[in-house]
Structure 1
Amino acid sequence: MTELGPVTWPPAPITTERLVLRAPEARDRATFIELLASPDVHAYLGGPRQRDELEREVPAVPEPWPGSFVVERDGLMIGQILVRRVTEHRNEAALGKVDLGYLFLPRAWGHGYAAEACAAALDWVDACLPGEPVVLATQTANARSMRLAAKLGFTEVERFRAWGADQWLGQRPPRTPAAPHVP
């Protein structure tokens, strides 16, 4: 996965009803480590990483690379949204498209935060990269992620097997921001 192209990064923070999507900051380091070390978060992502390894590898200020949004609620990081152009994938249908990914702490599950944050990130994609289709891949066994993909308007492109599990690839049709109303 690489940069998104001619997108200014980082963008101004994106505010929703309950959340803020923003670039990573030094205060987010511990939460990044918690996300990456969580067996619950990584149950469908190949398993967690070792905390001591992460303590050594995660920089003091998490790298603010294009497409990586911290999801903040009440001043605290609760997750991450990833928006990246697919340059490598087990499924050719995804190549060259914008990919949406997300990780949320288990304590943030079940409150609609992922749907709210992903919808805001998709609106950002629509504004910055109008007409671009967006893909999302998840394990078919991940019922929460499958429901979220449907709620966000992704429809199945195909199923495939990778990383020892059945995978689902969905795509959201290209959208352009609504044109201003002219009376």
Structure 2
Amino acid sequence: MAHLGPVAWPPCPIKTERLVLRESEARDRAGLIVLFSSPDVGTYVGGAQPREELESTVPGTPGRRPGFFVVELDGTMIGMVTFDRRDEERPGHVRQDAGEAELGYMFLPQAWGLGYATEACAAALQWFARALPGEPVVLCSQTANNQSTRVAAKLGFIEVDRFEEYGAEQWFGVWSSTTADDFGK
């Protein structure tokens, strides 16, 4: 995936009621390795990555790029929220020229079911609406991932397509910044 592109980076940390979204730091490396190697987290994203491989390939400060937010709770990394450009070759687009910003998020299993994904993504979408006003954001999730599609609906994503990709049916939605102020209240 291509990076988000021309935005002021890093932004000041974004604080919500319970969370902080911030640029990645070296202290996040271990938590991100746990995140990517978790079989539970990998269920709907192609499986867990081998921990040994991650230990040798993840840089000292992982995810240091525009659009990559670490999500922390009480000073501890619990997940990440990302914005990347959706590859033109993939199915699912809302613009003729493709390359839409795509929201992605992953959280450690102990953070599931507590509203953290919705809270963090709502804050990230508000940041996005200010950074790139008027630009749509897309989200793609396996239809079998009920938690993810519920989060998408809470955030205001509207389903625009379903298609087969990676051997599973995918839910594809779009979010518009014109309603960004309705989120995170």
* TM-score bin (small chain): over 0.9
The answer as to 2:99 corresponding to 1:96 is yes
**CA gap 1:177/1:163 in 2 versus in 1, 3 angstroms:** closer
Deviation per CA, 1:138-166: give whole Å up to 9, x if none. 00000000100000001111000011000
Q: What is the root-mean-square deviation in Å for CA atoms of aligned residues?
A: 1.5
Q: Distance in 2 between matches of 1:114 and 1:149?
A: 10
User: Which residue of structure 2 lines up, in the alignment, with residue 87 of structure 1?
Assistant: 87
User: Which residue of structure 1 lines up, in the alignment, with residue 108 of structure 2?
Assistant: 105
The total of aligned residue pairs comes to 178
Output the amino acid matched with 1:75.
Answer: G
Deviation per CA, 1:64-117: give whole Å up to 9, x if none. 111000000000000000111223452141522111000000000011000000
User: Which residue of structure 1 lines up, in the alignment, with residue 139 of structure 2?
Assistant: 136
Output the amino acid matched with 2:86.
Answer: V
TM norm structure 1: 0.92
The Cα shift of 1:63 comes to 3.7
Counterpart pick for 2:120 among 117, 121, 136: 117
Output the amino acid matched with 1:164.
Answer: G
Alignment of 1:4-19 (within 5 A): 4-19=4-19
Output the amino acid matched with 1:127.
Answer: R
Q: Distance in 1 between matches of 2:33 and 2:66?
A: 20
User: Which residue of structure 1 lines up, in the alignment, with residue 174 of structure 2?
Assistant: 171
Conservation of the 8 A alpha-carbon contact between 2:5 and 2:66: no
Secondary structure of 1:8's aligned partner: coil
- Listed as ranges, the gaps of 5+ residues in structure 1 are 179-183
More helix per residue: 2
User: Which residue of structure 1 lines up, in the alignment, with residue 60 of structure 2?
Assistant: 60
**CA gap 1:169/1:5 in 2 versus in 1, 3 angstroms:** same
User: Which residue of structure 2 lines up, in the alignment, with residue 28 of structure 1?
Assistant: 28
Conservation of the 8 A alpha-carbon contact between 1:22 and 1:70: yes
Percent pairwise identity: 58
Q: Distance in 2 between matches of 1:158 and 1:31?
A: 34
